[in-house]
Chain A
Amino acid sequence: MGATPLVEMIDIEKHFGGIRAVDHVSIDLFPGEVVGLLGHNGAGKSCLMKMLAGAMTPNGGEIRVDGKPVAFGEPNDARAKGIETIFQTLALADHLDAPANLFLGRELTTRFGNLDEAAMMDAARDVLSRLNPNFKNLRDPVSSLSGGQRQVIAIGRAIYFDTKILIMDEPTAALGPSETAMVADLIRQLREEGIGIFLVSHDMHDVFDLCDRVVVMNKGRVVGSNRIDEVTKDDVLSLIIKGELPMDWQPRNLEVTR
């Protein structure tokens, strides 16, 4: 791919006290590409993604969006560049209802600066019913909703706005089979639209099903970055667990053509 990457994270560092959570990591993402980010718990995936989302500031390194260096002081800075995130924790305010959560931090207002509840409700009904046609109880506080519905709100929030880069941190963790399939369809659809997606996941099946590339992290470092057709599930497991590919590894796709 000769085009400019949507995102380049170059030589990113993050440490907490003496612990290096992210250790000189470089990673990139192209338009219409889904990159799977894998690794143990605590390998630094979420931390790396939080820095891209503006929720955490790196100690070193550079982030470029569309080739231009950026600095994110807070999540809204990243959002302004079209970077949306579905956090693992979903980041929902439990006492508020679905529209309030969908627009949290960027509420629609009338020209007098009042909250435009009607417009937010219409938009919420729109986007949420597209993701889940059975989503009707929009006025209930989200604490009373099911895990799937909560996830749908978090996803809806990330795709409603003018999204160019989508970070999905374990987007299917709380979902049943049909909802997981819906998320997979959604990812394919967004990829068609040219959106770049980072998919943080533990689900090997999802990763091989959806991703164009896998990046594996181990102890804060990138230990593998491969096109999906170059590796098998066993290879990726080896990267995750041992931090390296099997001894006699060769790109699998070459093997086949040979």
Chain B
Amino acid sequence: MADIGKPAAFDGIGRVRFGAGSLQRLSALLTLFALVIGFGLASSAFLSVNNGLTILLQTSVIGILGIGMTMVIITGGIDLSVGSVLALAGVISGFAVKAGLPVFPAMTLGMLAGAACGLFNGFVITRMRIPPFVATLGMMLIARGLALQLTGATPVSGLGRSFGMLGNGALFRVVEMQQSGFPRVIFPGIPYPAILLAVVAVLIAYILRRRRIGRHIYATGSNEEAARLSGVRTDHTKLYAYTMSGALAGIAGNVLMSRLVTAQPSEGVMYELDAIAAAVIGGASLSGGVGGVGGTLIGAFIIGILRNGLNMSGVSAFIQQIVIGFVVIGAVWIDQIRNRPS
């Protein structure tokens, strides 16, 4: 037990292991604060509790995807399939509920489908020696095609109230009945997706920092040949990272479809790009070996707050894309500066 309660050692690890990305993480954090202050000044509604919870809800899907993406990016890879896998997993959860399964096992099945897609990615990459970009591009088409084929491209609806619980429910929701007979929401509660995001973040951060497999994920991305010669099973490590990314995409799919209370086979297009952007803004390096859950969360919230704030300021969705595009380029530019030999 002594190992857990040693703050000095733990601080040291945090400082050192992620030291390379700390400059960028700091700048990302400052950007996040600047955004909050800027949008807060622009619109009074932005800083309300309700809007804060909305942002939490909106960011949770990208956050969960981004955390899985981070694991893959640290190994030096990329996972372009998460958006499609999210859709396929959601569709499978939907079908399972339709087939009469209770919601929890049905969603577990969806998550496992996501994990299976990730495992396939890992298999193609490690056994067939296909570059991650190509392998996951293939899976992106395969999973999307499967989702569309299974559903005939039509949404699976009529899933019942309980299917919508995960996406629309909230913890500590306080509602008061008014005399007029209408309910008044005193505190909207913490959305379940946000709680799920927090759980996923803590779990993956723990795996990356405190478990052997996490250490191996960093080592594999840092120098794959060195890791192999040191006795790290780099293939197993990569297989693990891609499977986790797929499983988290499955969880994100459940959250998203539950929010819509419909399994939409065409959902999640281009989400992989948001997930990559979140990881990269948060300090993950596409050349591997660097990155972390904390940074990716900041990155996800930067994207989420940009979307939300620009929406509230009445900026069109097209302009939003342009802005986020520039943010991603800026973040990667900082990454480049950092990797330049000083």
A: residues with CB less than 8 A from B are: 53, 55, 74-76, 79, 85, 87, 89-97, 100-101, 104-107, 109-110, 112-118, 121, 139-141, 157
Contact = CB atoms under 8 A, between A and B. Distances in A.
Given A115-B210, A118-B9, A140-B16, A94 B230 contact: no
Contact of B3 (A118, A140, A157): A118
B91 to A, nearest CB: 36
Interface string B196-225: 000000000000011110011011011101
B229 A91 contact: yes
8 smallest CB-CB distances across A and B, nearest first, come from A105-B231, A93-B222, A95-B289, A91-B226, A104-B230, A91-B229, A76-B231, A95-B222
Contact of A91 (B16, B212, B230, B289): B230
B229 A109 contact: no
Nearest to B223: A93
A121 B4 CA distance: 15
10 contacts: A55-B229, A75-B231, A85-B229, A89-B225, A93-B219, A94-B223, A96-B218, A116-B3, A121-B9, A139-B12
Nearest to B10: A117
B289 A94 contact: yes
Given A115-B210, A115-B215, A141-B16, A106 B231 contact: yes
B6 A141 contact: no
Contacts of B232: 104-105
B339 to A, nearest CB: 11
Nearest to A104: B230
Nearest to B342: A144
Nearest to B291: A95
Interface string B1-20: 00110100110110111011
B173 interface: no
Contacts of A112: 3
A65 B223 CA distance: 30
Contacts of B216: 105
A192 B12 CA distance: 38
